[in-house]
Amino acid sequence: MVWRPTLPTKPPRPSRLDVRKTSKLYIGGGFPRSESGRSYAVSDSRGRFLANASRASRKDARDAVVAARKAFAGWSAKTAYNRGQVVYRIAEVLEGRHPQFAAEVERAEGLSSKAASALVDASVDRLVWYAGWADKVAQVVGSTNPVAGPYFDFSIPEPTGVVAIVAPQESSLLGLVSVVAPAVVTGNTCVVMTSYERPLPAIALAEVLATSDVPGGVVNLLTGDPTEVAPWIASHMDVNAIDLSGVSDQQLATDLQVAAADNLKRIMRPDARELDWNADPGTGRLTAFLETKTVWHPIGI
């Protein structure tokens, strides 16, 4: 019998603790915490904890409107071609982080990995679609008008201003992209209330916006309960338009319309057909937040 020394056993590797994240808001190109200090737990489709999300307050909403207004002059003054380039850059960065977004959508919406990947593909394609329209929409909705006199008369579309958006609650990424892209590509800036139960794809999109060419303040993302923040944004006197795509409660939608009427805001309250995010987007959202300016100019001068 041969004696063999007993080798020391390798101690078991301790289990690794999860890194629990508390996401921040996205306002003015930065990532502040909610001034209220509040957060709420975000769970996946099976009720398992994913992360904590900041719960935006009225003060956060006011800060977001200030940031959007400050960014509006510079953003609306850019050429339509340049705005298209910026939105296309968002698509490029999103495509580069495809696996991360597919995983986020899969957890948030309870989809298969294949279905989640297809939604990320559709979101990238939607951004490219709207980027391509940036320098073409003026030719579609603008015109040269015949007048009885020696004048040139042009009708030219212009952005409305600061747009408040209640993002779709169920479609956490594709729906979000579908409401934000047409607003900003036409020169508006926006304050977006993201999906309450599925905010993580929006938080990841904020990181894409921050690392692409989007100037700070053009898109501001608030996480939290839309029913808490939306009424204050709707009545804010420096908000020019509101998109109610993510409001399913008809009474709340009516209340927000009434609040928005104080300063004659443009209001978009789409019907069920317009909330099919897989359908051809068309040009309806591109023109929803545009105003028409008519310019007269004497001929020969």
Q: What are the structural domain ranges in the chain?
A: 49-298
**What pLDDT sits at residue 205?**
95
**What pLDDT sits at residue 241?**
94
* Three-class DSSP labels, the chain: CCCCCCCCCCCCCCCCCCCCCECCCEECCECCCCCCCCEEEEECCCCCEEEEEECCCHHHHHHHHHHHHHHHHHHHHCCHHHHHHHHHHHHHHHHHCHHHHHHHHHHHHCCCHHHHHHHHHHHHHHHHHHHHHCCCHHHHHCEECCCCCCEEEEEEEEECCEEEEECCCCCCCHHHHHHHHHHHHCCCEEEEECCCCCCHHHHHHHHHHHHCCCCCCCEEEECCCHHHHHHHHHCCCCCCEEECCCCCCHHHHHHHHHHHHHHCCEEECCCHHHHCCCCCCCCHHHHHCEEEEEEEEECCC
**What pLDDT sits at residue 3?**
63
pLDDT tens for residues 149-187? 888 877 888 999 999 999 998 888 999 999 999 999 999
Lowest mean pLDDT among 7-16, 107-116, 135-144: 7-16
- Whether the per-residue pLDDT at 146 is higher than 90: the answer is no
Class of domain 49-298: alpha beta
**What pLDDT sits at residue 7?**
60
- What is the reported pTM? 0.89
- Whether the per-residue pLDDT at 44 is higher than 90: the answer is no
